[in-house]
């Protein structure tokens, strides 16, 4: 009974993500485009859907511009970050993805599910890149549970094949840093609590490491067709930026491996990222102090990522 009362108090005090006027209008745009422009189910990468994607993103862009959420250069208005964060999360929640756990068991987002046509991952990522919402993608990777964010990473990596060379560097670095932060933030010793969850967590960490290795392929084996017609000076300048981004990733990885960061609770504007399901609410161990060691799987994952980063740096320098 005490636990039930505690749960009710948490629900009452939680920051529920409301289906506001903005989200209603976004849902209306998505419903209309899904019905009259192109069914979202048919929008996939390399599917000849470029014209439809441009039209859908343009309609969302016009709405965000009318709301002054984006400026005249289609960049985020820093005064409207909270509203854009909610819109970005709303798009993620209404994407056609199968999760390990049922999101209808998450109190503060369940009322947002299935309130818009299910976006394909391809369309979602085109909206994220085209509407300058990528900072919220990195927030989601950093702050949501791994079982949530990992469902989007495969197509996120695929979408980078269509980005410009300098965009690839920036996005890759941000994604690698976000994955590292997420691995550290979600560290806990499940082996002492639930053997099944421990095994699942190990598999998840392995997949996250694989995603980092895939991202680093954009540094090891860049698409040569994107550099056709570039002068030697331009190529050397680009190579300098490659090393700069790699050094920053290496320093981040080594810093996180050296000392476990102090856990920080999310502020109210980011509470939507806490997708806490019932088993986790009472079974997750309390946060370890900043000086505590990582659990074995987390330490191994960070070591694997750092090894990939250092190998990539060596390859690029020796190239």
Are 181 and 122 contained in the same domain? no
CA proximity to 150, closest of 141, 160, 159: 141
Are 173 and 259 contained in the same domain? yes
Are 220 and 309 contained in the same domain? yes
**Domain for residue 161, yes or no?**
no
What was the pLDDT predicted at 54? 94
Are 73 and 173 contained in the same domain? no
Element (DSSP H or E) covering residue 62: helix 50-66
Are 189 and 243 contained in the same domain? yes
- pLDDT, one tens digit per residue, over 243-253 is 999 999 999 99
Would you give the DSSP letter of residue 263? P
Q: 208: domain range? A: 169-318
3-class DSSP assignment, residue 70: strand
**Domain for residue 159, yes or no?**
no
3-class DSSP assignment, residue 45: coil
Exposed (0-12), middle (13-18) or buried (19+): which is 271, by Cβ within 10 Å? middle
Tokens encoding 26: 């976004």
274 backbone dihedrals φ, ψ, rounded to 5°: -85, 80
Are 299 and 189 contained in the same domain? yes
What was the pLDDT predicted at 278? 52
Last residue of a domain, which of 131, 151, 182? 131
Are 176 and 314 contained in the same domain? yes
**Residue pair 312/220 in contact by the 8 Å Cβ criterion:** yes
* Mean pLDDT calculated for residue range 190-209: 83
**Domain for residue 268, yes or no?**
yes
3-class DSSP assignment, residue 47: coil
Are 127 and 175 contained in the same domain? no
b/e per residue, 58-79, with b = 16+ CB within 10 A? eebbebbeebebbeeeeebeee
**Domain for residue 211, yes or no?**
yes
Tokens encoding 120: 């394909």
Domain count, the chain: 2
Q: What are the E-state strand segments in 45-151?
A: none
Are 104 and 176 contained in the same domain? no
**Domain for residue 137, yes or no?**
no
- pLDDT, one tens digit per residue, over 69-82 is 999 999 999 999 99
Residue 95 has pLDDT above 70, yes or no: yes
Exposed (0-12), middle (13-18) or buried (19+): which is 214, by Cβ within 10 Å? middle
Are 185 and 300 contained in the same domain? yes
Residues near 36 by beta carbon (within 8 Å), at least 6 away in sequence: none
- pLDDT, one tens digit per residue, over 24-58 is 999 999 999 999 999 998 898 887 889 999 999 99
Are 86 and 213 contained in the same domain? no
């Amino acid at each position: 009974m005490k636990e039930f009362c505690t749960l009710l108090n948490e629900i009452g005090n939680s920051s529920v993500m409301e289906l506001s006027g903005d989200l209603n209008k976004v849902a209306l745009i998505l419903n209309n485009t899904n019905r009259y422009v192109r069914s979202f189910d048919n929008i996939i990468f390399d599917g000849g859907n470029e014209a439809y994607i441009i039209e859908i993103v343009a309609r969302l862009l016009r709405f965000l511009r009318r709301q002054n959420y984006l400026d005249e250069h289609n960049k985020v208005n820093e005064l409207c970050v909270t509203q854009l964060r909610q819109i970005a999360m709303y798009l993620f929640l209404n994407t056609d993805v199968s999760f390990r756990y049922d999101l209808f068991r998450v109190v503060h987002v369940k009322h947002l599910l299935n309130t818009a046509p299910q976006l394909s991952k391809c369309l979602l990522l085109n909206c994220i890149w085209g509407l300058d919402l990528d900072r919220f993608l990195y927030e989601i990777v950093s702050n949501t549970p791994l079982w949530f964010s990992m469902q989007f990473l495969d197509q996120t990596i695929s979408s980078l094949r269509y980005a410009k060379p300098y965009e690839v560097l920036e996005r890759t670095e941000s994604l690698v840093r976000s994955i590292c932060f997420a691995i550290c933030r979600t560290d806990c010793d499940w082996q002492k609590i639930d053997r099944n969850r421990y095994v699942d967590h190990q598999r998840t960490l392995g997949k996250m490491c694989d995603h980092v290795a895939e991202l680093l392929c954009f540094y090891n084996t860049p698409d040569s067709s994107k550099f056709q017609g570039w002068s030697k000076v331009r190529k050397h300048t680009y190579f300098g930026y490659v090393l700069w981004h790699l050094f920053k990733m290496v320093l981040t990885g080594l810093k996180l491996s050296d000392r476990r960061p102090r856990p920080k609770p999310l502020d109210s504007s980011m509470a939507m990222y806490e997708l806490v399901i019932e088993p986790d609410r009472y079974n997750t161990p309390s946060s370890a102090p900043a000086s505590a060691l990582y659990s074995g799987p987390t330490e191994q994952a960070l070591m694997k990522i750092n090894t990939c980063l250092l190998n990539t740096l060596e390859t690029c320098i020796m190239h």
